[in-house]
Each structure stands twice: as C-alpha cells, then as structure tokens.
Structure 1
Amino acid sequence: MEIAFRNIMILGFLILGNYSCDNPRKEKTDNLIVITNTSLIDMNNGQVSEGMTLIIKNGIITTIGKSNEIELSPEAKIVNGTGKYIIPGLWDMHAHTSSESVTRSILYPLFIANGVTGIRVLSADCFEPCWELDMSIEQSRGLQSEVKYGKVIGPNAILGSTYIHGVKSGEASTIKEPGNRQDGKKLVHLLLDRGVDFIKIYDEIPREAYFGIADEANKKELPIAGHVPASIKASEASDAGQKSIEHCCAGSLFEECSSEEKRLREQITELIQSREPKNMYSLVLELVKTYDDAKCQEVFKKFLENNTFFTPTLVATEMDNILRDYDWRDDSRLKYLPEKEHDFWIEDEISTKEILGIQNPLIREKRFNIVGDMNKAGVKLLAGSDCGVFGVHYGFGLHEELELLVEAGLTELEALQTATLNAAEYADKSDSYGNIKIGFIADLILLEANPLDNISNTKEIYSVLSNGKFYDRQSLDTILKKVAIEVAK
C-alpha cells in the first residue's frame, strides 16, 4: 500500500511537471521570440553589427544586444541567426490588389512569402458598380482587420482611393468626375467619408478640379498621390502638396525637363484628354531628345523644398523594353497568378502597347539617368513595383525594383532605404517602422546573405517576422505551395 501511494505521488509530480512553466517541452509561441548570433544592418548608415541578439515580445523589439551578454528565457522561441543578416520588412509603395477572395488567399500571402510586410495600395476602393478585380474600401479595411488579428496572412497596408480621372471632354462636371474647383472640393469630402488613407490622382483631371482637390485635401490633411495630370507640371503638383509622384518619367519629368515643353505638352494633353491616346512613345522620344538637365534640376529643388516623394516603378516600365530578353508568358511564377489576373495581363499588354507604341532604348536610358540624378540631388525615392500590371508579379516584383534602382545608380543601402526608411517616413511611422530599434514593430527579414554586398540577396530569405508571427523557410515554402494550389483550383 505504501509503495502504491508513493508511485501515485511520483506520477502526480510528473503530471504537474508537464504543465510547469519551466518545462522545456512546453510548446513555444510567437509571443516571445529570440533571434541569436545574427548580424543587424542599420538602415541609417549601413553599419553591420555582428553577433547580436534580438528579443521580441508580442511583435515588438524589446532588447538588442551582444549575444554573449543576454540571458535567454527558456520560454522563448529561439531562432539561430548565425550567418544571417536582419533587415526591416520591405514595403512595396506602389502595389495593387484584386478581388477580396483573390487578395485574401493569394496576393496577401505572396507579399509575406517575399518579405514584403507593408504595401501602399493604389487603389483600394471603387465607386459602385465595382469591376470584378477591385475591392471596395470596406472590403480592403476588412482584410486589414483580419491581418491585424492573425486571421489572414498578409502585409500592413496604406489604402488609397479609387482612380480619380476627372470629367470627360464635353461632359458635365460631377463630384466623382470633377471638372471644376467646386466639385473637386466636394470629392475630397466624399472620399473622407469613405475612409481612404489618400487620394489617387490620375492623368485626365482638369487643372481647376485638381487644384480644388489639392486645396481641400490639404485643409483636411488627406494626402494626395499618384500621377501628374497632363494639364499641370510636376513642380506645380509638388507646390500643391502632392505627397508622392508615381512613375518615371512620362507624364511628369520628361515633359517639364524638355526645352520644347510647351509645344509637346499641348500635344500630349490633347491626346490624354481624348481618352484614346495612341503611340505616345513617339512624343516621349521627342521629349527625351530635347531634355534640358538644368530644367530638371530646378524641379528636383522643388521636390526637396516641398518634401515630395517620387516612386519610379522601373520594373513596370521594363515590360516593353525591346532589348530585354524576357517574356512574362514563360515565367515559372505564373503558377502563382490567378486565371482572371492572367487574362487581365494579356488585355493590359495589348492596350498598353497600343497606347504607347514601341519604346526606343533612348527613353529607358534617360529614365534611369533621371532616377540616378534625383537620388544624387537628395529627392526621397520610394520603391514601388506597380505589381498587377502585366509582367510584374505580386511580392516578387519589389525585389526586381530594388535591383533596377541599383542599376540606376543607387547604392545597395540607398535602394534598401527606399523600401524601409523612406517608406516609413512617407507613412509618418518613422518611430515604429523602417529600421531595427528597441520599441519598433518587429516586421523583419532574416537573409542568407548580405544585401549590401549584392542587392539581389534580398531574395535569399531565411525567415520573415510579420504582425507578430514568425515564418521560417519551411513555412514560407508552404505558403507558396498553398498559393499555387489555390491558383490551380
């Protein structure tokens, strides 16, 4: 009896031991993650600190120090970072999404699988009736809520309005398609009520409507971003408070940097406002051939004075580069592209080439030169892929954009800053994103190799931390497999 009682007591202690906080068998959670013996890259100066340990509690970086000076908690999930390099999660600052179901199950996971932990969506809303590959702002917000609470794998997002085109020639001005200052101001209030984070400006907006939008948006502190309408100059958009200008450089800098600006702008404006432009590259080539560097430097000064950001989206302009040995139809990553998106790419390529025509190599050369010159002048560049246009894959496209920014003359560190520090500054979140500091959000990427040695090393992803969740290489591969299965349904 005594032996039996002792055995019961021992069994009881063993059972209790299995639930003890100190039991090493206890399942680790993402609430406490420790990354040991790794190299941190400071986004401010490119300094690499080796042999470092990070402690992350509930998605926040709480401790950074030398590995031999930090005591590890037995409750923590330990990640061995030996030979790895940590950078902040990347932001794609010119991204597109699709329908709610496609974005939820395919596009959002693709961003995370590629270390893209933040996106700026141009656009994340639509005026009803919506196109089948669009979402309303309510749907976009709903997905972001699910991301926040761990129900959906996806990036944090800055959500833009639908495309603001302006009134068509010969038609009456309306609030949704303004042609005058008054309707432009009313549109701002409509978009505020819808709850967008910024207004997406497009090409065809008349001058009066544009300045009405800009004036009211500035008063209401609702940023405007996007294209430079054909009827105004890039410097005027900067003076009007447009927070960022997209795409280099047709529609903005090519025009204003031409010695024949007045004549060629009139022709381009007429074509754009006709809503049926054709062979635009013939006019763009004239702009390039009449390029005046002194004029462009004056525009750069405006950008600096007004803190205007510029998103070149170089990878999107590469899709019709006749010297590039690439056909998106042969890309192995098509297994991650839904059928309806694939169909759109075919239509987009046909219409784009009809509108633009053939891109002369001189246009590409000048585009890359201007991006390099903007960077040298101190203009704040943003990395944006324009993913969703034909040939630019969701998530993957940002890494290609970083490579092209380096080709345009940026250093590897400067390229990284366009997707980290600069993105955080644009979003007014420099106190929590864009670098690796105590108190910052732990959206991080562990890389197998140093991206400062070669920017292509941003593709060598070992693991990703996003929204308080840790994804090792196996988990990231599983995400990609699930996406491919979803696409194949």
Structure 2
Amino acid sequence: MQHIRSLCAAAVFTISSPVPATADALLTDVTLVDVATGTLTEGQDVLIEGATIAAIGPDVTAPDSVPRLDGGGRYLIPGLWDSHVHVFSTPTEPDTALALYLLNGVTGIRDMGGLWPFAAQKALQARIESGDVLGPRLVLSGAWVDAAPGSWPGMFLADTPDEARAVVDRIAQQGWAAVKSYSMLDQRTYLALAEAATKAGLPLVGHIPERVALKTAISAGQDGMEHFGRVTMACATAEERMLDDLRRAMDAGADQQAILAVMAKRNRIILETWDQQLCDETLAQMAEAGLHVSPTLVVADFYTGTLPAPDAPRMKMIPAETRDAWTQPDFRLDAMTDELRSLAQDSIALDRRTFAMAHAAGVPILASSDASFANPYLFHGFSLLDELDLYVAAGLSPREALFTATVAPPRFFGIADQDGTLAAGHRADLALVDANPLQDLRTLRNPYAVVAGGRLLDRAALDGLRDDLLAAGR
C-alpha cells in the first residue's frame, strides 16, 4: 500500500473520453419511470441541452442538427448511484472504473477514501463536471479519520479530542464533502469529531468506531454509516459486552492480531444474543434520526468465496495486474477463523433479515458496493447491480431497491440539480432500459442507452466501451 501511495502522489491526469459522445440529444418515444411514486408516463420525448434536461413532453421539437435516439417505448430512469466506492486506490484505476460504471448505467458515485492526493481527486471531479472526462458524477467523501497509525495509508489521524477538532478544520478548509469516521477511534475522540463536524457544517459519515455503540453514534448526530454489520450487532443484547472486550484489549496495548481475534468472536455472540424487540427499538431510533445506511451487503461474497469465474466478462475487463493481485493472500481472509467460516451463512442470513427489518422500519438506505481495486472481487458498476439484487432477495420490491440507487443518494448528498426524478432543469444523468425496472431489475444489466452529464451513449457506444475494456484487460 505504501508503494501505491507513492505512485499516486506523482500521478498525472491523462484520462480522456474513451468513446465519442454528443453534448445535445433528443430522446423520442420513451416511457418515463417515476421511481419515487412508481408511476409510468408513456410516449414522452426528452430534449437534452448541454448537461441538462431542457424539456420533457409528448411532442418536443429540436433543430435537425440535434442527434435523435428513438426510444421505441423503452423505459427511462434516473441514472444509478453507487454510494460507497473507492476509485483512487491505484494510479490508473479511474481509467477502468469510470467506464465500468457507465457500462452498467451508474452515472453517480460517492468515493469514500483513496490514495490519490486530494488535489488530484478534485481535478478529476472538475474534469468530469466540465465534460472533459466522460464518467459518472463524483462526490468526494473520503476524508477518513482514524486513530494512529491508521488502518490505511493517507488517513487523517486523531487520538485526542483536540486532534479531532484540528483534523475537521483541515477537512473543511480543503473542501471535502463530508467527514468520515473510521474504525479505531476511541469514544472521546469520536464524539469530538462529531461535534466538530456539526460546527463545520459537514455531514459525519463512515464507520461506527469499533469501541462506540450504535446508539451513541445516533445521539452524536452521525448522518450516514457504512456497512451493515454494526446494525445487526446493535440488535444484540450483548453489544456493550462486545464493545467492552475490545476496549479492554486496546487499553492494554493489543496489537492488530489480538484486536482482530477479539472482533472475530463477535459473530457467535451476535447470533446468540440478537433480540427482536431490541432490534425494533434500535431501528426505530435510526429511522427517527434519519441515519442513512450504506449496507454493502455484496461484500459478504468475498468472504464466502462466491466469486465470478476467471473467464466472466467482468473479470476480463479488469487489468491483468489487478486480477493477479486479487489472487494473492489477503489480510482480511487471513483473519477468518474456522469458527467464522462455520458461522458465515447464519451471520449473512441474520444481516439480511435485519436489513429487511431496517427498510420496513423506515431506515433510509443508500445502495452501495465498496467496489475498489483494493477490495478483491468487488467490481465497479457490476457489484452495484449485484447489491440491488440482494435487496430484492431480502424482501424489497424492485421499485424499493431502485429507490436506494436513484432517489435516496442525490437527496442525501444535497445535490441541487438532482433529486432522483426526471424533470426539466435537472442534470441529464439517465439510463434507458428495455423493460419495466419496477417489475424486474434484470433489465438494468444491459442498458439500451446511458446519458452521463448530457452525453449520450447509445448501445453501439456502450458496446465500444465494453470492447475497449476487454481489450485493455488482456
């Protein structure tokens, strides 16, 4: 990781648009999908000017010079969002990642931490916004704050409340979209971080630190939490005992291996002490507080070995050096004990049961995958669609699952020109699919066309993206 960081520090932007794309377009005869209400409006035309939807209606006109795409009655939805990704873990990762997102209809991503300097991340974000680089809209929320020495290279570090307050000042000055708490913060430092983020007007998102109870995070005003396991843990009557076990170990100076050993015991305890009534109470508190959750349920596939075949198209689109790195020993798998493996399916089932309860209780969900070259077998674009399928398997309707990837994210991020609806004046980030996605999400797997920042990629252009990725992955 240190080697990767040194390369990123010297990275120079050479990314260019991988396929031709038009700045204006008229989509004719499309069926508008209102994901928020579940209604359909047939026979509509959509005029795109620059990066914006200029007009919507049954008979929209445009100059003959404007390219047209006959929708043939197909279904137009807001482009998808993946609310937890990492696209800056290698010097050239965006070259692959941005194209993979568009290929899968993902037109917005929230990056949650990387190894590139922040100035370089901002530069790429600006080039996407200006149309100089073709890619999904980028929200930079990766100002992750951890206790020393940090779980990953390049983190902000804070071991005291004063250091937490100073770190938030730096994050605010640099212009990050949020403050991200991380796993090893102690409670006093975490609470100071939360208070400072509120004063700075920045949302607090990220991990619930491993020594902090979920209800403490709710009281502290955490706005968004990453990964779902801590929700299930908060539904266990032994949550405080598990936290105390780790507090004692860390207070005694435990090393990483000892810390992981303490945490490895949690799955059995959670399975044995999970309580329905406590869970209902906890989820109600989360919903009332508006604590958004980015579940990343798809991450479990890595730990259970549910992996794509080596010749799967998604594998072939990944650079060869990344595929090779994914076959090497991984510290996360090394920390898996025989007991954890034996409990894995029961633990996953309980997470998904608790997830369905959370949705039913009104806990806001942000579809998310944790895709990154640093996270083996979590794929930019593809894994977001896998995640949505898991939501449906857990009991959500296709519309409810789609809501978590279209409507909920831009509203949570406070994006002025997007709210997950299709309307004149909104940014033109769209996906056109063959079938009604409110009935079946499989149609998302092969979009007929994608519009990213007003730039139209028809099926031929998307096929060109796919072919270029396959060629680059050889």
TM-score (normalizing by structure 1): 0.84
* Equivalence for 2:243: 265
* Equivalence for 2:24: 32
* Equivalence for 1:242: 222
The one of 235, 243, 253 equivalent to 2:231 is 253
Deviation string, structure 1 residues 94-129 (Cα, Å, up to 9, x no partner): 1111356423421112111211111011114xxxxx
The one of 345, 348, 366 equivalent to 1:364 is 348
Give the CA deviation at 1:377.
0.5
* Equivalence for 2:4: none
Secondary structure in 2 aligned to 1:470? strand
Give the CA deviation at 1:283.
2.2
* Equivalence for 2:83: 93
Indicate if the aligned counterparts of 1:431 and 1:440 stay in contact, CA closer than 8 A. yes
The one of 81, 90, 109 equivalent to 1:119 is 109
Indicate if the aligned counterparts of 2:82 and 2:369 stay in contact, CA closer than 8 A. yes
Secondary structure in 2 aligned to 1:98? coil
Indicate if the aligned counterparts of 1:37 and 1:82 stay in contact, CA closer than 8 A. yes
Residue 375 (str. 1) matches residue 359 (str. 2) = yes
Secondary structure in 1 aligned to 2:192? helix
Secondary structure in 1 aligned to 2:469? helix
* Equivalence for 1:194: 174
Residue 454 (str. 1) matches residue 444 (str. 2) = no
Show the 5 A alignment for 1:385-424. Answer: 385-388=369-372, 389-424=375-410
Show the 5 A alignment for 1:409-448. Answer: 409-429=395-415, 431-448=417-434
Say which is worse superposed, 458-467 or 333-342, in terms of deviation: 333-342
- State the AA in 2 paired with 1:41: V
Indicate if the aligned counterparts of 2:24 and 2:455 stay in contact, CA closer than 8 A. no
Deviation string, structure 1 residues 168-201 (Cα, Å, up to 9, x no partner): 69xxxxx942222111111111222333211222
For the aligned residues, what is the CA RMSD? 2.3
TM-aligned CA distance change 1:271 to 1:160, over 3 Å: farther
Please list every run of 5 or more consecutive structure 1 residues that lacks an aligned counterpart in the other structure.
Answer: 1-27, 125-133, 170-174
Show the 5 A alignment for 1:275-294. Answer: 275-276=256-257, 277-278=260-261, 280-294=263-277
Give the CA deviation at 1:150.
2.4
- State the AA in 2 paired with 1:376: A
Indicate if the aligned counterparts of 1:29 and 1:77 stay in contact, CA closer than 8 A. no
TM-aligned CA distance change 1:439 to 1:321, over 3 Å: same
Indicate if the aligned counterparts of 1:433 and 1:441 stay in contact, CA closer than 8 A. no
* Equivalence for 2:283: 300
Give the CA deviation at 1:342.
2.7
Give the CA deviation at 1:295.
1.4
Measured in 1, the distance between the counterparts of 2:21 and 2:163 equals 53
* Equivalence for 1:10: none
TM-aligned CA distance change 1:142 to 1:328, over 3 Å: farther
* Equivalence for 2:13: none
- State the AA in 2 paired with 1:332: P
Secondary structure in 2 aligned to 1:474? helix
- State the AA in 1 paired with 2:353: N
TM-aligned CA distance change 1:445 to 1:271, over 3 Å: farther
Give the CA deviation at 1:39.
0.8
Deviation string, structure 1 residues 34-63 (Cα, Å, up to 9, x no partner): 111111100211111111111122221122
Measured in 2, the distance between the counterparts of 1:167 and 1:346 equals 29
- State the AA in 2 paired with 1:398: L
Secondary structure in 1 aligned to 2:330? helix
Give the CA deviation at 1:278.
3.4
TM-score (normalizing by structure 2): 0.87
* Equivalence for 1:139: 120
Deviation string, structure 1 residues 176-231 (Cα, Å, up to 9, x no partner): 42222111111111222333211222110011111111111100012221111011
Indicate if the aligned counterparts of 1:463 and 1:471 stay in contact, CA closer than 8 A. yes
TM-aligned CA distance change 1:208 to 1:168, over 3 Å: farther
Structure ID, larger Rg: 1
Measured in 2, the distance between the counterparts of 1:476 and 1:106 equals 14
* Equivalence for 1:465: 451
* Equivalence for 1:150: 131
Say which is worse superposed, 449-458 or 395-404, in terms of deviation: 449-458
TM-aligned CA distance change 1:29 to 1:236, over 3 Å: closer
TM-aligned CA distance change 1:60 to 1:390, over 3 Å: same
Indicate if the aligned counterparts of 2:125 and 2:138 stay in contact, CA closer than 8 A. yes
Indicate if the aligned counterparts of 2:28 and 2:71 stay in contact, CA closer than 8 A. yes
Measured in 2, the distance between the counterparts of 1:99 and 1:240 equals 30
The one of 313, 318, 337 equivalent to 2:318 is 337
Indicate if the aligned counterparts of 2:35 and 2:421 stay in contact, CA closer than 8 A. yes
TM-aligned CA distance change 1:366 to 1:268, over 3 Å: farther
* Equivalence for 1:130: none
Give the CA deviation at 1:151.
2.4
Indicate if the aligned counterparts of 2:365 and 2:408 stay in contact, CA closer than 8 A. yes
Please list every run of 5 or more consecutive structure 2 residues that lacks an aligned counterpart in the other structure.
Answer: 1-19
Measured in 2, the distance between the counterparts of 1:70 and 1:87 equals 18
Measured in 2, the distance between the counterparts of 1:111 and 1:29 equals 16
The one of 189, 204, 220 equivalent to 1:224 is 204
- State the AA in 2 paired with 1:182: D
Measured in 1, the distance between the counterparts of 2:210 and 2:438 equals 38
The one of 183, 195, 204 equivalent to 1:203 is 183
Measured in 2, the distance between the counterparts of 1:40 and 1:112 equals 20
* Equivalence for 1:482: 468
Give the CA deviation at 1:162.
4.4
Residue 354 (str. 1) matches residue 334 (str. 2) = yes
Residue 215 (str. 1) matches residue 234 (str. 2) = no
Say which is worse superposed, 160-169 or 463-472, in terms of deviation: 160-169
Secondary structure in 1 aligned to 2:302? helix
Say which is worse superposed, 328-337 or 411-420, in terms of deviation: 328-337
Give aligned pairs, total. Answer: 440
Give the CA deviation at 1:343.
4.2
Measured in 2, the distance between the counterparts of 1:54 and 1:424 equals 21
